[in-house]
Amino acid sequence: MVSKRLSRLEGHRRKFMAVIDGTPECQRAVHYAGRRAKNSNGGLVLLYVIPDGDFQQWLGVEEIMRAEAREEAEAVVAKIAQIVRETIGIEPEVVIREGGAAEQINAVIEEDRDVAILVLAAGSAKEGPGPLVSSVAGRAAAFPIPVTVLPDTLTNEEIDALC
């Protein structure tokens, strides 16, 4: 069970969350979430999850690898945040976590009670729609808030028209 959402109370605003995972479709999810946030006077949360399975080395090597992964995550999210500022005109919140994606998404939802909608975009690769969309469709990772899944064929112009 998820904590009560506070986004409709005075002093709060509804936030849309997009997961930054390096896939081409995450750009569409960010664009949609950003437009919806702007058009509804809400907020945008950009979540980047560093997989924790990447650091199974000796302690010194592990610390270096963890620092490098964090630097890479910060660079990727900074670039996307800059695109959001330039194209949509809002300031996104950036959250970088380490662990499993579904676990960290749920943790952010629980911690930030203004996060009300998770936005994902389906991929068009032959491997399938993407791991997060597949897990939602297969109910392996049920999230406690509504999830918007964008089709892989939408352009930014079509997304703008929908928002």
The pLDDT-based confidence of 15 (bands split at 50, 70, 90) is very high
Q: Give the integer Cα–Cα distance in Å for 94 and 74.
A: 9
Calculate what percentage of the chain has a pLDDT beyond 70: 82
- Indicate the angle between helix axes 24-39 and 59-87, nearest 10 degrees: 50
Residues 137-163: tens digit of each pLDDT:
555 557 888 999 998 888 889 998 988
At 56, the pLDDT band (50, 70, 90 cuts) reads: low
Return the domain boundaries, the chain.
Answer: 13-160
Whether the predicted pLDDT of 79 surpasses 80? yes
The pTM (predicted TM-score) of the whole model is: 0.85
Residue type, 17: M
pLDDT at residue 25, rounded to an integer: 85
Interval 62-77 mean pLDDT? 89
Q: 115-121 and 93-98 as β-strands: parallel, antiparallel, unpaired?
A: unpaired
74-78 mean pLDDT: 96
140-27-156-125 Cα dihedral, nearest 10 degrees = -60
Question: Per CATH, is 13-160 categorized as 3.40.50.620?
Answer: yes
| Percent with pLDDT over 90 in the chain | 51
- For residue 112, the model assigns a pLDDT of 94
Task: Determine the Cα–Cα distance for residues 98 and 74; give it in Å rounded to an integer.
Answer: 12
Give the range among 24-38, 99-113, 130-144, 146-160 with minimum mean pLDDT. Answer: 130-144
Q: Average pLDDT over the chain, rounded to whole?
A: 85
Total count of residues recorded for the chain: 163
Q: How many CB atoms lie within 10 A of CB 70?
A: 14
